[in-house]
Amino acid sequence: MSRPDFELINAYRTTGEAKWLDELVARHVARVRKLIYPMVCNDSTADDLTQETFVRALRSLHQFQFRSEFGTWLGRIAINTCRDHLKKPRLVLIQKEGGLDEAASAEPEPADSVASRELVGEIEAAILELPLKLRSAVTLVCINKVEPVEAAAMEQCSLATIYWRIHQSRKLLSKRLAKHL
């Protein structure tokens, strides 16, 4: 039987042995990445931000006071890590004409698959256009199925605010994706 998070944290604080952290990270890494990916819609960025989330959490683990579940605290760190990343200015690279990338030279895909990929791309683009607070609420509750109460704790806002943000997100997404609905 696996130990609860608080036991792993206390065992690490007491012994300093990395095995307790390894178990804690292994338990939460998939959930953290699942929270992060819809915020950035890029695999390598999601991987980097997941790693950064755990680095920040482990550096601050001595400050964790068990006032919330460890997963809620970690989710809050993940959201803040995404926000910090998304606030940074970006260098945009533009592909020159005539250059072929690997995907362009691949075999053509069936029309359904191409249409499906285009729709997924449009949905991801629409989500990325949402203001950060709306994106985070819809990502947590609608995509990751986090309970609204826990999402409110992660976002450090009221439950009513989470519901309002989800409502606003859905309105904006419906408007942006109207031609597909």
Task: Write out residues in the chain with pLDDT < 70, as ranges.
Answer: 1, 90-115, 181
- CATH code where residue 64 lies: 1.10.1740.10
Could you tell me how far CA 31 lies from the centroid of its own chain? 9
Q: Residue 132 falls within a domain, yes or no?
A: yes
| Domain tally, the chain | 2
Residues 55 and 9 in one domain: yes
Domain containing 76 equals 5-87
Residues 82 and 9 in one domain: yes
Instruction: Say if residues 22 and 3 touch (Cβ distance below 8 Å).
Output: no
pLDDT at 122: 87
pLDDT at 124: 87
Instruction: Say if residues 166 and 142 touch (Cβ distance below 8 Å).
Output: yes
pLDDT at 179: 83
Structure-token pair, residue 55: 């680095």
pLDDT at 1: 65
